[in-house]
Structure 1
Amino acid sequence: MYSKILMPTDGSELANASIQAGIEFAKKVNAKVVGIFVAANYQYPIYIDIIPPNTPTEEEYQAAMRAFGESYLEPARVAAHKEGLEFESVVKFSDAPAKEIVHTAQQYACDLIFIASHGRSGVGQLLLGSTTSKVLSMCDIPVLVHRVKKH
């Protein structure tokens, strides 16, 4: 069925719930799991004349975002290992997260993307979240959209 599943997260509650559901699904089909966090690219402060001394360098920003990404992916790693699944985490930088998710799925030879219906934007929207919608429109491999049920 599926041998390697990509699971994106933005660290939100909804994404975490979907990751847990994705791990359960991966266990059922005995698939490897690749977790991904996509951080925004570093933005140079070009709109001001003097750069404040507390502005992080690009290297500092990337190190901080890698740390955030790994912390967001850690619950998935723990859950996967608890279920005896292979897990690999990936932190990427892009201002087009959907495009990066699809590219990473291809790069890591994933045959399914298991993604939350919404991320940080929340469930207040009537339609799918923008990143999820873009992944669906760009992707040529199956995408399973997980919707968290309200209690």
Structure 2
Amino acid sequence: MFKNILLPTDGSGLSVKATDTAIRFAQVHGARIVSICVAQPFPFVPMAEGAVVPDTAVFETQINAAAKINIDKVAASCAAAGVPFEGIVTASHSPYEEIVAAAEKHGCDIILMASHGRKGLNKLFLGSETQKVLAHTTLPVLVLR
């Protein structure tokens, strides 16, 4: 039934658990895993002359390297389990948009993703990428904790 699974990852402990679940799910369904890690660019944009701007190039290099490491870990787990795999590293200020677009572009028929289950002010300020994905896709989404 499910042949192409999209697995967003951020390298967190919850994402690692979600990866293990997604691999078992893929094995049961004879599916492949497409995993995406969205590196978020430096959020600061100077608004005035003379502002001190951190070296955003260094930040972006490091965040992209971390995203690549996260994808490589999923790739290694998939290879060890014999599950076909494709990895995507991208950068965006809106991870949910990248996740939804990747699912569509790669013909995925389900999204399996971890949720951090943030509450209160953390949810308000940090948002919930999982909720945004749920609101912007027509695909089934399996939320893992």
Give the unaligned 5+ runs of structure 1.
none
Gap change, CA 1:93 and 1:46, over 3 Å in 2: same
Residue 125 of structure 1 and its aligned partner are, at CA, apart by: 2.8
Residue 87 of structure 1: aligned partner:
85
Q: Structure 1 runs of 4+ off > 2 angstroms?
A: 41-45, 60-66, 123-126
Instruction: Give the 5 Å matches for 1:1-150.
Output: 1-43=1-43, 45-47=45-47, 49=50, 51=52, 55-57=55-57, 60-118=58-116, 123=117, 125=119, 130-147=128-145
Deviation of the 1:74 alpha carbon = 2.1
Counting matched residue pairs gives 139
The percentage of counterpart residues that share the same residue type is 32
RMSD between aligned residues: 2.2
Alpha-carbon offset, residue 25 of structure 1: 0.8
TM-score, length-scaled by structure 1: 0.80
- TM-score under structure 2 length normalisation: 0.84
Determine the C-alpha separation between the residues in 2 that align with 1:31 and 1:62: 33
Between Structure 1 and Structure 2, which shows a larger proportion of helix residues? Answer: 2
Q: Which runs of 5+ in 2 are unaligned?
A: none
CA contact (8 A) 2:71 2:89 kept: no
Amino acid at match of 1:125: K
Letter of the aligned partner of 2:130 in structure 1?
Answer: T
Other structure's SS at 1:145 match = strand
